[in-house]
Structure 1
Amino acid sequence: MSGHYHRIQRLFTVFGFLVLAFSIWEFFQGVYPQSQGLMFIAQAILGILLIFVPEYSKKLLKVQLPNATVYFYWFFLLISVFMGTILHLIEIVSFWDKILHAVSPMVLTAVGYGLICMLLKNTPVKQVSPWLFLLMGFAFAGLCGIFWEFWEFICDSIGGMNLQRYATLEGTPFIGRDALMDTMGDLFTNTIGAALMGVIAYVQGRGNPDYFESYRIQKINHK
């Protein structure tokens, strides 16, 4: 990995620890209830660990993600875990959640392209129709979005966390279509994000039969 890669990783890590310090300060200041404050601290620590997921995947799973995909993934961590949750922008900016639901499928679409490249093994990318990549990336991001809504449903069912916004902040349940608006809005935004990434890839890949090679997830074989 390049020195540029590690400099960005260190920058993200330093920012993560600063955000962790902020959440610890909030905890001792009693800004939030104790249980919620501890949850913020735990999520900050988890966010720092998630920065190193690409390296864990390389060492444990023997797969290496392209740097561009890793940078996009780090950007999503920045706006979701650190800025959205710990710095509370998701509470301050009403549409922040929708931004996250638009960006995450773009990252997942790129991962979908990389998975196709890896599964093709030694088959030259230029011999494969670009529509296979476009459809695979779109479908992969859409499926992950559905699984995320499943996860939110489970958390709401077990922990009453109201992640799918089926009730008001005071706990009053929404009725009819109002109860579906958040979930359907998330799925709709997820679809738009995946489609937008597909359009970007289509435009950038026109006239370049090897374009999707840049997304390849490489399997590391140690002899």
Structure 2
Amino acid sequence: MKDHWRRVRAQPLAIQIIWAALAVEFLAALWERQWPLAGVAAITGALTLAPIYLSSRVGLRLPTAFLVGITLFIFATIFLGEAFDFYNRYWWWDVVLHGGSALGFGMLGFLFAFMLFEGDRFAAPAWALALIGFTIAVTIGALWEIFEFGMDQIFGLNMQKSGLVDTMGDLIVDVIGASIGALAGFAWLKGRQLGGFTGVFGDFVARNRRWFRKHRD
């Protein structure tokens, strides 16, 4: 537990700022007796702590870029999106979040597949690992759309907004984001650069050598 809280305190400034904003909003909501807003702030804060806690439990060390990206995504999705209605205020909010999450899941899917081979770059073709990463990301996106449909049908919510058009638009953005994430993994294995994305793979492998014992730089 002490090690967990040490890792929490050592997080980058961007994450610390988000936590501070959530704490201030939580206390302000309690003062004004806005219980739903206080609840959303508390839940958002707990979810941003989850990746740090879970990664430490399984012995993974996530790169700073991953942690910042996950924290920003949770903050933007739940707190800004739902509590402050950014989804309805800004038409592009949902598009950006879907694209960003799909890109991240594409990269994580690639790393997961690479981890199964313990980092052996010759155990499977680079394109096959990229395809697995792409498939994982698109599958997660499709499952989320099913979740939105179920929530709308069961609880009468409006998560799908315009229905079929919203769903198909989200899936298209998911495919684009997943393609970029998987392509970044392919480029990294081939020793090429794809913007700033490829550096994240090397950082992840370097931090988690015991999961990639067969990897050779």
TM-score by length of 2: 0.74
**CA distance in 1 between partners of 2:165 and 2:129 (Å):** 31
- Preserved CA contact (<8 Å) 1:69 1:215: no
Query: How far off its partner does 1:120 sit?
Result: 1.7
Matched, 1:137 2:133: yes
Matches within 5 A, 1:17-28: 17-21=23-27, 23-24=29-30, 28=33
Among 182, 192, 200, which residue is 2:166 paired with? 182
Within the alignment, does 1:115 sit opposite 2:112 as a pair? yes
Distance 1:205 1:91, change over 3 A: same
Match of 1:46 among 43, 46, 54: 43
State the alpha-carbon separation in 2 of the partners of residues 59 and 203 from structure 1.
29
CA distance in 1, matches of 2:23, 2:36: 16
Corresponding residue for 1:32? none
Deviates more, 1:90-99 or 1:55-64: 55-64
Residue of 149, 153, 165 corresponding to 1:157? 153
Q: Tell whether 2:184 aligns with 1:195.
A: no
d(CA) in 2 for partners of 1:119, 1:203: 19
Q: Percent identity?
A: 23
Aligned pair in 2 of structure 1 residues 58, 220: CA closer, same or farther (>3 Å)?
farther
Using the TM superposition, name which of 205-214 and 77-86 deviates more: 205-214
Q: Within 1, Cα distance between the matches of 2:68 and 2:128?
A: 24
In structure 1, give the amino acid aligned to 2:181.
Answer: M
Tell me if the contact between 1:63 and 1:219 (Cα under 8 Å) persists in the aligned partners.
no
TM-align CA RMSD: 3.3
Q: 1:24 to 1:13 in 2, by over 3 A?
A: same
Q: Which structure has more RCO (C-alpha within 8 Å, separation ≥ 6)?
A: 1
1:83 to 2:89 alignment: no
Aligned length: 199
- The AA in structure 2 aligned to 1:103 is G
Q: Does residue 13 of the first structure (1) align with residue 1 of the second (2)? A: no
Shift of 1:93: 0.8
Shift of 1:220: 7.6
CA contact (8 A) 2:61 2:204 kept: no
Structure 1 equivalent of residue 4 of structure 2 = none
Shift in alpha-carbon separation, 1:2–1:18, aligned structure 2, 3 A? closer
Q: Describe the shift of the 1:199–1:208 C-alpha distance in structure 2 as closer, same or farther (beyond 3 A).
A: closer
Task: Give unmatched runs, 5+ long, in structure 2.
Answer: 1-6, 212-217
Deviations along 1:58-94, whole A, 9 cap, x unmatched?
A: 3434444333322221221232223322333222112
Q: CA deviation at 1:53?
A: 1.4
1:113–1:215 CA contact under 8 A, matched in 2: no
1:125 CA drift (Å):
3.4
Q: Distance in 2 between matches of 1:214 and 1:181?
A: 38
Structure-1 separation of matches of 2:209 and 2:84:
37
- The DSSP-based 3-state class of the residue aligned with 2:151 is helix
